[in-house]
Amino acid sequence: MPAASPPRYSDVQIAARQAALRALTSGQGLAAAARAAIDTAETFLARIIDAVDLHEQIAAIQCAAGCYHCCHQMVGITSAELALAREAVDALPEPQRGATRARIKDMAERGRGLDQAGWWQARLRCALLDEEGRCLIHAARPLPCRAMNSYSAETCRRSHAGERLQIPMLAAQHRIHGHAQLGLAQALAESGEDTMVVGLGTAL
């Protein structure tokens, strides 16, 4: 019997679309659709890691809690991911929830009118980080945040400081989550939901 072929990036887009559509058509709502697409992406990443033996590459990724240099860029998300992020913020305990909402308001005001390059140059730190630089909604973070990874924390630090550098990353992780977001957007379109991509920092 021939060996099973490894999953393709187009497969995750199709599966994410189907999973998100099931959530939307069953009345579970936008946040559930985002969760469905995220779960699909994470499952596909695990499959590809095993299928083409990326375990060493995964182990070499230097991203860790409190490493937040990449969390100063404009993040484009769907309405479903926005709903999931808002749900996670609403679930934070007080006084953390109130402080986070205040940072969100300040971020929106400071970032209004900026394009992606301007946002990065302004060094606007994500309002969803705590004082130690850890993501307060890590389990509900959007697909683009999950896509980001780096083999060099030092390169990320230097990039954030202003050097024009290419971040060395595991392309498979980046592509899988990107394709899952495309599938989620397709599901939203087919369900008659808002398909506009918005900036996380200003839309919250």
Write the burial class of residue 158 (CB in 10 Å: 0-12 exposed, 13-18 middle, 19+ buried): middle
What are residue 129's DSSP bridge partners? Answer: 135
Task: Give the pLDDT band (50/70/90) at residue 9.
Answer: confident
The phi and psi torsions of 126 (rounded to 5 degrees) equal -55, 135
| pLDDT over threshold 60, residue 176 | yes
What does the pLDDT look like over 59-100, one tens digit per residue? 999 999 889 999 999 999 999 999 999 999 999 999 999 999
| pLDDT over threshold 50, residue 1 | no
User: How many CA atoms, within 13 angstroms, populate the side-chain half-sphere of residue 5?
Assistant: 4
| Per-chain mean pLDDT for the chain | 94
Quick one: which of 104, 138, 139 has its CA closest to 124? 104
Q: Which residues contact 146 (CB under 8 A, 6 or more apart)?
A: 38, 41, 42, 173, 177
Distance CA 11, CA 162 (A): 37
| pLDDT over threshold 50, residue 152 | yes
Distance CA 84, CA 32 (A): 7
pLDDT of 4 reads: 57
Between CA 8 and CA 127, with CA 174 as vertex, the angle to 5 degrees is: 145
In the chain, % of residues over pLDDT 90: 87
Between CA 197 and CA 204, with CA 203 as vertex, the angle to 5 degrees is: 130
Q: What is the mean pLDDT of residues 180-193?
A: 97
Q: Specify the range with the lowest mean pLDDT, choosing from 8-12, 156-160, 187-191.
A: 8-12
What does the pLDDT look like over 107-137, one tens digit per residue? 999 999 999 889 988 989 999 999 999 999 9
Quick one: which of 86, 96, 76, 85 has its CA closest to 197? 76
Query: Cβ distance 128 to 136 under 8 Å?
Result: yes
